[in-house]
Amino acid sequence: MKPRKLDSVFDLTGQTALITGGGTGLGLGMARCFIVAGARVVLIGRRQAELAGAAQALGKKAFALAGDVTQLDSVPALIDRAEKLAGPLTILVNNAGVHLKKPALETTDAEFAGVMQTHLFGAFALTREAGCRLVGRKSGCVLFTASMASFIGIPQVVAYAAAKSAYLGLVRTLATEWGPQGVRVNAVAPGWIHTDMTEKAMRGDPARKAKVLGRTPLARFGDPEDVGWAAVYLCSPAAKFVTGTVLPVDGGLVDSF
């Protein structure tokens, strides 16, 4: 096989990525990196104004599409609308999520189900619908945003941890089922990343911040683009023989436990 130029193996020109929860935080960071790599991106979320502002800032290769992945019956129409906006889907990034910090003994069935509905049921419905198209075209990538909670015990996030741990089973099973049809399925597992949510969690709590940094071998928070470039790699030709894997982007935190 003739070697390719370094930049070409990370090139996503001609690809269309749908990113849920793409208007802020990690989703927006991934969208920025996908666009730099040449892809078109469709940002999906529930807040139209926020999505529109993000898409405008990203430029002409970005499209905003308001939608709620927890409304499972609407998922096929959502994929149809995305493809009408930006062309046939080649990459799906399941990034939408909600967070619940509460002791397990106080977490209600409704609260637990609400977290699972967004992270697990919504992501699976979207993946199944996108997968029908990708498998039919015998090409494409699906990426899940997992978490440190997929690997280690974190108190007071039982519903979130259950959902993120379930992603590992989805990734491995779908990679096995869809690999023969040319569709790769992977995940990134971010650690503590500079986002508005992280800033809010750490504000006024220097002891917690010191504890987090003390457990992170690189002794700093990551940037959304750190996760974004890992996502680009997993969806690019450079990773054409990588499927069924979960890539931590956490400054070494998980491996230090």
Q: Which amino acid makes up residue 193?
A: I
Q: How far apart are CA 138 and CA 213, in angstroms?
A: 43
CA dihedral 97→101→106→109, nearest 10 degrees, is 0
Strand partners, 248: 189
Q: How far apart are CA 107 and CA 103, in angstroms?
A: 6
Contacts of 99 (CB under 8 A, 6+ apart): 115, 157, 160, 197
233 a catalytic residue:
no
Task: Count the Cβ atoms, other than its own, within 10 Å of residue 240.
Answer: 11
Catalytic residue among 63, 124, 160, 192: 160
Q: Give the helix ranges, DSSP H, for 72-185.
A: 75-86, 109-116, 123-137, 158-178
**What span, in angstroms and rounded, lies between the C-alpha atoms of 155 and 160?**
11
Reading the block at residue 225, the tokens are: 């683009």
Q: What's the rounded Cα separation, in Å, for the pair 155 and 63?
A: 37
Q: What positions carry a catalytic annotation?
A: 160
